[in-house]
């Protein structure tokens, strides 16, 4: 392992493909590591952020059969940024379609940020298909969390928030989500792209405990910002397609399964209260609050804890 960045060395997929999931959407998927190894599913954040090569590196490639995919509208999935026929139940169904296609009976489920949201939704719908969970930067998609993202982050990043809302007229700033939605889902392509870039730069600027200009630039690229801006707005407008506090209320469906929750103490994007609430509902889960970290999975303390969690599952040898 690389001690400077506490991840396994870079690897390439041994198999990949495009999977049509309906008449509108096709998702990209890949497998890395050991084809006969313990299956693990990686769920990316956003929604809409897509995969990065570093996402393969939380897992020992000699032990794990690592499955990753770009969710509807994200990354290499097509069409990029497509919000129609894009709901949490449909994403859960896509995961099941992928699991069945790959001939996997049960797998470890790993997700951060929106990936933790989707992991919980999937696990609560299909607990019999899960070995356990590694969850990071918990997001429960409640109205309070959505309002925090749109308005509350300004208490910590006032200059970043001001940049975020600069293109929104003062009279529309009382409901920023609706203001951005009008631009992101309107017919003016340039206005959509400007709004998406502002959204991506805003989120990218708040991910880390210390400034990381490269992360800001990555989130502001057209591909990432279109996926993140449009799909996050879409899911926020629909409260993640969940009923009230659904993921906490249904946590009991998962309490018989092992889990590790990793949370940055200074996570401004997904504040620690959500992780704490989940742990209260799921006390059997291990809970690690990382004292010197923000939100990003590449924060050194968070990455170290995530690798430790996958190594813990490796040592336990949970194939059944």
Catalytically active residues, by annotation: 113, 267, 295
Q: What span, in angstroms and rounded, lies between the C-alpha atoms of 243 and 240?
A: 9
Cα–Cα distance measured from residue 290 to residue 166, given in angstroms and rounded to the nearest whole number: 33
Structural contact between residues 168 and 295, judged by C-beta atoms closer than 8 angstroms: no
Measured in degrees and rounded to the nearest 5, phi and psi for residue 26 equal: -130, 130
Give backbone dihedrals phi and psi of 132, rounded to 5 degrees, phi first: 175, -170
Rounded to whole angstroms, what are the CA distances from 174 to 154, 160, 289? 14, 17, 33
Angle at 237 between CA 214 and CA 204, to 5 degrees: 5
Rounded Cα–Cα distance for residues 142 and 270 (Å): 11
């Amino acid at each position: 392992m690389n001690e400077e960045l506490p991840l396994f060395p870079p690897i390439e997929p041994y198999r990949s493909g495009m999977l049509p999931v309906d008449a509108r959407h096709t998702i990209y998927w890949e497998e890395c590591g050991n084809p006969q190894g313990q299956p693990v599913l990686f769920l990316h954040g956003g929604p809409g952020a897509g995969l990065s090569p570093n996402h393969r590196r939380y897992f020992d490639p000699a032990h794990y059969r690592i499955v990753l995919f770009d969710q509807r509208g994200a990354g290499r999935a097509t069409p990029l940024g497509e919000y129609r026929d894009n709901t949490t139940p449909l994403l859960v169904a896509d995961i099941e379609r992928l699991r069945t296609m790959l001939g996997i009976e049960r797998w470890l489920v790993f997700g951060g940020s929106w990936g933790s949201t989707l992991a919980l939704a999937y696990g609560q719908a299909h607990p019999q298909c899960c070995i356990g969970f590694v969850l990071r930067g918990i997001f429960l998609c409640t109205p309070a969390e959505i309002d925090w993202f749109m308005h509350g982050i300004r208490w910590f990043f006032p200059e970043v928030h001001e940049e975020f809302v600069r293109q929104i007229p003062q009279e529309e700033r009382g409901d920023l989500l609706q203001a951005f939605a009008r631009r992101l889902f309107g017919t003016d392509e340039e206005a959509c792209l400007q709004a998406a870039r502002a959204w991506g730069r805003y989120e990218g600027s708040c991910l880390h405990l210390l400034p990381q200009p490269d992360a800001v630039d990555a989130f502001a690229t057209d591909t990432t910002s279109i996926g993140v801006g449009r799909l996050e707005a879409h899911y926020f407008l629909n409260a993640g397609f969940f009923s009230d506090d659904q993921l906490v209320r249904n946590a009991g469906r998962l309490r018989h399964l092992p889990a590790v929750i990793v949370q940055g103490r200074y996570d401004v994007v997904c504040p620690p209260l959500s992780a704490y609430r989940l742990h209260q509902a799921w006390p059997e889960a291990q809970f690690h609050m990382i004292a010197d970290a923000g939100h990003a999975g590449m924060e050194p303390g968070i990455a170290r804890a995530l690798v430790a969690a996958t190594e813990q599952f490796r040592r336990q040898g949970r194939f059944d």
